[in-house]
Amino acid sequence: MSGPRIARLADEAVLRGAAAFCDDIHAPGELHAAFLRAPHAHARIAALDLSPALRIPGVIATFTMADLSELHPLSFQSPVTAPDGSPVTAPPLWPLARTTVRHVGEPVAVAIAETAQAARDATEAIAATYAPLPAEVSARAAAPTQTIALYRLGDPDAVEAALVGAAHRVDLRLRNNRLAPAPMEPSVSLASWQDGQFHLSVGVQAPHTARDHLAQVLGVEPANLRIVVPRIGGGFGGRVMGGREDAVLLAAARRLGRPVRWRAERAELFLAAPHARDHDTDIAGGFDAEGRLIALRVEVFANLGAYPTAFGIPIATTTGNRIVDGVYRVPLLAVTVAGVLTNTVPIGPYRGAGRPEVVHRLERLMDVAALRLGLDPAEIRRRNLVPARAMPYRNNAGQLYDSGDYPAMLAAALTASDWDGFAARREASALRGRLRGRGICCHIDTTSGLRPDETVTASLLPDGSLEFLSGTQEMGQSIADTYRALAAAALGVSAQRITIVQGDTARVATGVGSYGSRSLFIGGSALREAAAALRGQLQAAAARLLGGAPEAVRLDESGARMRTTNAILTWTERAARAAPEALRASATFSAPFTFPNGCYVAEVEVDPETGTIAVVRFVAVDDVGRVVNPEAVHAQVQGGVAQGLGQALLEECRYDASGQLLAGSFMDYAMPRASDVPWVEGSMDERSPSPTNPLGAKGAGESGAVGAPPAIVGAVVDALRPFGVEHLEMPIRSEDVWQALRTAADRRRRLDGQPA
């Protein structure tokens, strides 16, 4: 890896317990909010009697949507049209439900009180009457009447003809399970109205985007809303923007003239915070006699939930399908994605956001094709990979893969995992009564966001320190420490002299935010250019003051030093002897999408008596371009793999047929524990840096969550292959394995003429 170890200066406050997370922020005279949430998946609000709540001691006010008439619906975006070609329309997403609730947990009213407990008591006292309506939770079942957005790509007629004439055809139906982003710290917001301006302290990953979104709901200019982001206790895409509750809090704060605070209960996050994934897919691949893919047809029913969120439709359609081919050559392709409304929690971003769904369907197709064609899973992939000589490569979605050597990544992963030595490990497991399987995934990701740019402003302050303002957001991914290291290297000073300012829309003029693995290759490049511009200004000014040429000025920890005379101007002296505008430089950097990629190999052991699965080895070879902060990159891969393991084996937000959520707490929603997650044997291949940015970086935050699920699922299926299993749906629980083995045993007994 190219970069040296970078000091984690931001960790000290956390280790000392001095870091201010969202829940640590308070305001004098603050009130507390609690939300009444709908118990029905679909119902008309027949009546709401708020008077009992107002009689509870400490309750200040209650509001429904009728009371907050100044608020507007939350907006959404769609890069595609409705099935008939018209613009996408959907039921308006009001901050509080107006006449109809469309999912369990939808907020109906808010109570404001002196204490959080009084506010909760008030919501329970509200007399709400509902008239239930029919509900549907399956996107496939609801598609005929509830498809609001349709994405089409490719040539369906040519694909159908190729599938008919293919030497081998593989059809597969699979689901990508619905997940709940589960940050360590539940959502906390503190809203206030000060001097004619809204203020919101909230944990979001894109504060400027959240500001613009909420300002539209409030009906004010963005400049009239200031968002400040404390330390975030977990983001992962689930906290890109503020929610409907934040708009209610801000309106209430202005009405009451006091700050209003809300801390979500964990159950509220399951009931109301955006979920993720939830795709129901039919995929068909046509292969020639040698196992090369000649045509691919994909039909996806993407569950959008009850309302399209700001990112819901793009994630399901254009964002994920930017990598529609994965790392493979696909001569003919036809894809349709139906964005379907159901009576479930709306879908939003979560680590990978559309790309895990695309990669999983491709990799499962490759695994099943290898099994049916009698090929090694690695070999069928090798035959279909885009060769290095084809780079840069334009895929069927029109995206230009910037750089990479996918066959080399596969070869490196096979070597690192000792692919050829697996038979001995399988035999050793068998001697201990375990079934051992291995799975492989060749993955690719696509990075960036709503806009491909960031602006950074660098300044020398009067005390001699250096300050950088960035619109990206630290959320535990060590981006602030990485920025410090980049700035320190550019200016020749220690990282301790550098301050990174993020998460304040009043101090930082503009920003797109941190999501889509965009922070380093866009935000870091902007920071480096701003540092270079400031360095040039400081050298020129120092040369005028010390006498000499700018190129003879060297910056170091002491200040600006003239090489020819050894005269020095300390940082504080330099700051004192210049006009403020001479101490500031800004730079904007823009870059197209980058495409980090890699190959993962997982090995599992299965206990045939109980169905228990243990991931015993995980090898990851990644191409994230040039690595600036090796420790942070490995941590990102390790964390992404942990979340991918959770999706593959444990996590799912399930609903019953009436729309009631069956996974409303950690008692029902299984999160991976430390003992479930193996140490990732990770390595970085830096031979293909991205040509799109001066750092050569591609983004590292999401690859683990993209590539881990197919590798782990493939390993479990491989362990059960001797029993006739060729596919299992995520999450693969121990009872699923046990049932598959039992079914195989019954089938074998029937073939032997014995009673099942």
Which two structure tokens, joined as six digits, stand for 367? Answer: 């695994």
Mean pLDDT of 466-478: 93
Helical (H) or strand (E) element with 355: helix 355-373
Give the SS3 label for residue 513.
coil
- Extract the runs of DSSP E, i.e. beta strands, from 307-363: 333-341
> Picking from 10-14, 36-40, 73-77, 327-331, which range would have the lowest pLDDT averaged per residue?
10-14
**How confident is residue 756, by pLDDT bands cut at 50, 70 and 90?**
low
Residue 234 has pLDDT above 90, yes or no: no
Task: Tell me what pLDDT residue 746 has.
Answer: 82
What is the per-residue pLDDT across 256-272, written as a single tens digit (0 to 9) for each?
999 999 999 999 999 99
Q: CA dist 143 to 81, 493, 546, 657, Å?
A: 15, 59, 73, 16
Q: Which two tokens stand for residue 252?
A: 């209430």
Please give, one letter per residue, the 3-state secondary structure of 385-400: ECCHHHCCEECCCCCE
Q: How confident is the model at residue 1 (pLDDT cuts 50, 70, 90)?
A: very low
Picking from 329-338, 432-441, 564-573, which range would have the lowest pLDDT averaged per residue? 564-573
- How far is CA 126 from each of CA 35, 38, 49, 121, rounded to the nearest angstrom? 11, 12, 6, 9
The candidate with the shortest Cα–Cα distance to 9, out of 556, 498, 520, is 498
Contact 361, 253 (CB under 8 A): no
Distance CA 402, CA 82 (A): 32
pLDDT per position as a tens digit, 741-752: 999 888 877 777
Mean pLDDT of 117-130: 98
Q: Where are the alpha helices (DSSP H) in 374-478?
A: 377-384, 406-416, 422-431
Tell me: pLDDT of 211 over 70. yes
pLDDT at position 579, please? 60
- pTM of the complete model: 0.95
User: Tell me, what's the pLDDT at 178?
Assistant: 98
Let me know if 658 is exposed, middle or buried by CB neighbors in 10 A (0-12, 13-18, 19+): middle
Residue-averaged pLDDT of the chain = 95
Structure token digits, residue 638: 């390790």
Confidence of residue 152 (pLDDT cuts 50, 70, 90): very high
What's the start-to-end Cα distance of the chain, in Å? 57
What domains can you pick out in the chain, each with its CATH number? Answer: 22-133+187-263 (3.90.1170.50), 276-447+593-746 (3.30.365.10), 453-590 (3.30.365.10)
Distances in whole angstroms, Cα of residue 720 to Cα of each of 435, 545, 677, 702, 716: 7, 76, 21, 29, 7
Report residue 137 as tokens: 């939770």
**Which of 70-84, 483-497, 580-594 bottoms out in mean pLDDT, i.e. has the lowest?**
580-594
When pLDDT is cut at 50, 70 and 90, the band that residue 353 belongs to is very high
Per-residue pLDDT, 750: 76
Cα torsion 21, 23, 25, 29 to 10°: value is 180
Beta-carbon contacts of 525 under 8 Å, excluding residues fewer than 6 positions away, are: 589, 591, 693, 694, 695, 697
Cα(457)–Cα(467) distance, rounded to whole angstroms? 8
CA distance 142 to 140: 6
What is the tens place of the pLDDT at every residue in 648-666?
999 999 999 999 999 989 9
* Separation in Å, CA 565 to CA 547, 549, 554, 575: 9, 11, 12, 21
Per-residue confidence (pLDDT) for residue 744, from 0 to 100: 86
Q: Where are the beta strands (DSSP E) in 126-249?
A: 127-132, 147-154, 168-179, 188-194, 197-202, 225-228
AA letter at 426: R
Mean of pLDDT values over 445-463:
91
> Average pLDDT, stretch 546-575?
89
